[in-house]
Structure 1
Amino acid sequence: MDRRVFLQKAGMGAMALSLPQLPDGAKTTGMGIVVHSYGMRWNSKTPSSAYPGFTNALDLLDHCHQIGAGGAQVVVSDWTADFAKQVRAKRDKLGLYLEGSIGLPKKAEDVPKFEREVVNAKDAGAQVLRTVCSSGRRYETYHSGEAFQELKKNALASLRLAEPVLQKHKVKLGVENHKDWRAPELAAILQQIGSEWVGVTLDFGNSIALLEDPMDVIKTLVPFVFTTHVKDMAVEEYADGFLLSEVPLGTGILDIPAIIALCKKHNPAVTFNLEMITRDPLEIPCLTDGYWATFADVPGADLARTLRMVRQYKAKAALPRISQLSADNRLAAEEENILACLSYSKNQIELK
């Protein structure tokens, strides 16, 4: 698919900006890999000699080093103190950076477990953790305004439980815009928390699913950015709305260099983590009644603008679909997509 940029460049690519400050022990500013980029290989139960599965963070770090990535963002749940030390030794040996992905405490009784995971992540070398407030997509999980308000109440409570732990151990937590919060909603939550230790894991493309303009999302959330999920997106119409796919960087509709530059401007220490999920397109059913259950305040103009964008930047070829491929071919597609993105990051946006 030919590159079709619809975001305003506004001269960002020409800015002379500082490179990210590296975590202790890291020797590269290269783009890292989010564990979810390897959704098919992470804890894979599909035997493959060509693409063996990764059983833990050590395997993932080894592979990231082999393919020239700068680091990894990986789930830290249920690590032991000994395993955290093994991860730290591996990270230091390979010269990579490490970030953790962690769940929030839901109630006071969960705080000790959360603190153990924060400590283990820090001991392993992570200075930044990523989290989400909702495991499901907003339009699929919440079916009333009341249900979504309950999520908001619970999210605030969880972040307030987490914040003293983060402050105590001097570890930063980035809340992802995870197809749950629209950008102003997430910004408002962070302002209510009001902590230097709680900010954003800025996903470049998720919020298209919530009928938001990608650059508006970036501009709203970038003042809070600690870390990122870097991706490019492609779109296509379908009967109930539009389809949304992650595609290799530089082949979709996002202006990746402009977004990278804006992130660096606001936080020179920001890390860039690739989340290239190889899967069939997601259905965004924005023309159905059910989709709108939690969007009472979203203007129709946002729907109109999004559908115009979908029509204007429709992929010339059908969006990639992998479910019909053999297991090995799906694994091959996953690896090829990640390698293509790393090549783009080194050659086009000079993350080396």
Structure 2
Amino acid sequence: MTSDEARRIIERADNLPLYLHAYAYHLNMRFEKLLPGDLLDIAHEHNLPGVKIHVLDGETQSLSTMNDEKLAEFGEKATRYNLDINIETSASDNKTLDDAVRIALKTGASSVRFYPRYEGALSDVLKTIAADLCYLKEHYQHSGLTFVLEQHEDLKSHELVELIKNAGFPQLTLLFDFGNMINACELPMDALSAMQEHITQVHIKDAVILEEGQGFGHKACRSGEGNLPFKEMLQALICLGEERPQVISYGLEEEVDYYAPAFRFADEVADPWIPWRQMSETPLPENEISARLALEKEDAINQINYVRKIINEIKTEAIQFSN
């Protein structure tokens, strides 16, 4: 820690923008036991400044199923609670982006997160994504929204940075997930360092790293029980931005039992094949469903408390360093 980093931590720690993430309630929302409006209540109850919600969260009651009036009502409820809304979607094709932007604008959201899911040779996949980003710039650069491309298991950090640079519009930045670089055969702090100039949003979670041949998968777990450099990543992210914080939202994305396999490998060829994959889902419980849903709610709240504890530890160490 440097004196400048200590100063930034002390100035920022108490007001770190922790957002409730709908994936922390993924199973409850799959069973429609929790709906989009309920997330706003939970965020307000726990004094969080915003929510991150996928357009499909809540199944038949999701934002994607709502008409303009219902979307406006959701946005108005968030406004009453003084909550920011971040919309998330799980592809980068034109139609998916169009739908996400429409929902974001109707709800008064501030940003849209997306990630590509294409199959093919890496070089072809990157060209397709670049075309998606050109479409995004051409149609929505001046929409009033910001956009974040998430590093999501299949692309390496330098590939994402190159895509962002070539897209060439300041409203597009990167979202850093605590564990997704593992599947691209990268180490967490190396990935953070490579992406750091472009990171404005974060997904906080913990995971166990799984060795899979010449690559690595990950299985998400309760925060504090994995083997990611959780505290080190959080401290580095807090310090991004010289005069003001570079990261504007940290999504509390507890996702116990989510699994993702290795997608990139140490011995891969120069232009590796990127396999098709479905959007992220945690397997639904087959029995004792009520108990599993109750435990998920408990895990989500425990993560809020755990992250706040780690932030306080980081701040205490910064104060001690300064003295």
User: TM-score range with shorter-chain normalisation?
Assistant: 0.7 to 0.9
Describe the superposition over 1:139-177 as per-residue Cα deviations: whole angstroms up to 9, x where unpaired.
xxx4xxx53333222111111101133322121110011
Describe the superposition over 1:44-78 as per-residue Cα deviations: whole angstroms up to 9, x where unpaired.
16xxxxxxx123x2122123333554421112445
Which of 131, 135, 145 is the matching residue for 1:157?
A: 131
- Share of identical aligned residues, percent? 20
**1:315 matched residue in structure 2:** none
Which of 140, 154, 157 is the matching residue for 1:180?
A: 154
**1:128 matched residue in structure 2:** 111
- Given that 1:13 and 1:258 are in contact with CA atoms closer than 8 Å, whether structure 2 keeps it comes out as no
Distance in 1 between residues matched to 2:237 and 2:163, nearest whole Å: 20
Q: Note the residue ranges of structure 2 that are not aligned, 5 or more in a row.
A: 56-63, 272-282, 315-323
Distance in 2 between residues matched to 1:252 and 1:13, nearest whole Å: 26
Q: Give the residue type in structure 1 aligned to 2:45.
A: Q
Secondary structure, counterpart of 2:141 in structure 1: helix
- Given that 1:222 and 1:262 are in contact with CA atoms closer than 8 Å, whether structure 2 keeps it comes out as no
**2:235 matched residue in structure 1:** 261
Which of 277, 295, 300 is the matching residue for 1:338?
A: 300
Question: Structure 1 residues 214, 151: CA separation in 2 closer, same or farther (over 3 Å shift)?
Answer: same
2:242 is equivalent to residue 273 of structure 1: no
Question: Structure 1 residues 184, 236: CA separation in 2 closer, same or farther (over 3 Å shift)?
Answer: closer
Matches within 5 A, 1:1-352: 14-17=6-9, 18-19=11-12, 29-44=16-31, 53-55=33-35, 57-76=36-55, 77=64, 79-102=66-89, 106-107=93-94, 110=95, 114-115=97-98, 117-134=100-117, 142=119, 146-236=120-210, 244-267=218-241, 268=245, 269-279=247-257, 281-284=259-262, 292=265, 295-297=268-270, 326-350=288-312
Secondary structure, counterpart of 1:250 in structure 2: coil
Give 1:296 deviation, angstroms: 1.5
After superposition, the CA RMSD in angstroms is 3.5
- Given that 1:12 and 1:262 are in contact with CA atoms closer than 8 Å, whether structure 2 keeps it comes out as no
Give 1:341 deviation, angstroms: 1.0
Answer with 169-178 or 71-80: which moved more. Answer: 71-80
Q: Give the residue type in structure 2 aligned to 1:331.
A: L
Secondary structure, counterpart of 1:251 in structure 2: coil
- Given that 2:78 and 2:85 are in contact with CA atoms closer than 8 Å, whether structure 1 keeps it comes out as yes
Secondary structure, counterpart of 1:221 in structure 2: helix
- Given that 2:115 and 2:150 are in contact with CA atoms closer than 8 Å, whether structure 1 keeps it comes out as yes
Distance in 1 between residues matched to 2:155 and 2:124, nearest whole Å: 13
Q: Note the residue ranges of structure 1 that are not aligned, 5 or more in a row.
A: 1-8, 21-27, 46-52, 136-141, 299-320
Describe the superposition over 1:118-139 as per-residue Cα deviations: whole angstroms up to 9, x where unpaired.
254144232221101117xxxx
Question: Structure 1 residues 234, 116: CA separation in 2 closer, same or farther (over 3 Å shift)?
Answer: closer
Question: Structure 1 residues 242, 10: CA separation in 2 closer, same or farther (over 3 Å shift)?
Answer: farther
- Given that 2:185 and 2:266 are in contact with CA atoms closer than 8 Å, whether structure 1 keeps it comes out as no
Describe the superposition over 1:254-298 as per-residue Cα deviations: whole angstroms up to 9, x where unpaired.
3333323332333415210011112265454x8xxxx65993249
Question: Structure 1 residues 325, 343: CA separation in 2 closer, same or farther (over 3 Å shift)?
Answer: farther
Give 1:239 deviation, angstroms: 8.0
Answer with 191-200 or 342-351: which moved more. Answer: 342-351
Question: Structure 1 residues 147, 79: CA separation in 2 closer, same or farther (over 3 Å shift)?
Answer: farther
Distance in 2 between residues matched to 1:218 and 1:187, nearest whole Å: 11
Question: Structure 1 residues 185, 227: CA separation in 2 closer, same or farther (over 3 Å shift)?
Answer: same
> What TM-score do you get using the length of structure 2 for normalisation?
0.76
Q: Give the residue type in structure 2 aligned to 1:82.
A: E
What is the total number of aligned residue pairs between the two structures? 290
